[in-house]
A = this chain, B = another copy of it.
């Protein structure tokens, strides 16, 4: 396996024989030697069927997970039953970081489709990242990236109106698909309108209406969960110079 060669974002090549760990090691250009050692990291793989939990809030935290295939949502439940989706994760991303601070998971992670993850025992990660040059930093970057992403969502929830939120969401999805080597203009959403709404702080009807309006305006083509972006610049334009809401 060619590990020292920087891997383009055009395809999903694997960083170690077990799993796609490019988020953890590739952007940093670890040496071939080091990459081989990453195999030590991956305990097992685990398959998760659609709608099943990878972990639940309250579960003992023992490992983080690298998504090998499929996609997930994470959510938190209030006592009164309200659900807030805190994020969507797709192939190549890392889940489970929330558990480190409390030794228990603080949210639920649920597969949006039949998926497979690599289990990375946290103790092993800690041990290895003391030894493998660059791994520690790479892991810090993964965590920091989650913090930055969350700030983006807070921005969205705190100061954008419905159409801006959905535009931001679509552009973000498009970007993440692109980064994984898929077409950026056309993709399949794996989550329902209700889940999108929960993530964006909107009701499903509002999400649906915004989709329809975008379609009327020629910005996107929607067919159920299938989205085609026709005018990305138009979507970006929605994100600025709008009267403040919220």
Q: Given that A143-B143, A147-B143 are known contacts, is A201 also in contact with B76, CB under 8 Å in the complex?
A: no
| A155-B101 in contact (CB<8A) | no
Q: How far is the CB of A222 from chain B (nearest CB, A)?
A: 23
| B144-A101 in contact (CB<8A) | yes
| A136-B147 in contact (CB<8A) | no
Q: How far is the CB of A97 from chain B (nearest CB, A)?
A: 6
| A100-B140 in contact (CB<8A) | yes
Q: Report the Cα distance A180→B86, complex, angstroms.
A: 29
- A8-16, A45-53, A238-246: which lies at the interface: A238-246
Identify which of B82, B153, B200, B240 contacts A244 (C-beta below 8 A).
B82
Contacts of A86 in B (CB 8 A): 151, 154-155
Contacts of A97 in B (CB 8 A): 143-144, 147
Check A31 for interface membership: any CB of B closer than 8 A.
no
Query: What is the total number of copies of this protein in its complex?
Result: 2
Q: Report the Cα distance A113→B89, complex, angstroms.
A: 39
Contacts of A201 in B (CB 8 A): 157-159, 246
Contacts of A129 in B (CB 8 A): 130, 136
Contacts of A137 in B (CB 8 A): 126
Identify which of B76, B85, B126, B142 contacts A136 (C-beta below 8 A).
B126
| B147-A98 in contact (CB<8A) | yes
Count of interface residues, chain A, beta-carbon cutoff 8 Å: 51
Q: Mark A94-137, 1 if CB is under 8 A from B, else 0.
A: 00011111100011000000000000000000100110000011
Contacts of A100 in B (CB 8 A): 140-141, 143-144
Check A233 for interface membership: any CB of B closer than 8 A.
no
Identify which of B82, B106, B126, B244 contacts A159 (C-beta below 8 A).
B82
Contacts of A143 in B (CB 8 A): 97, 100, 140, 143-144, 147
Q: How far is the CB of A223 from chain B (nearest CB, A)?
A: 27
Interface residues of A (CB under 8 A from B): 76, 78-80, 82-86, 97-102, 106-107, 126, 129-130, 136-137, 139-148, 150-151, 153-155, 157-159, 198-202, 239-242, 244, 246
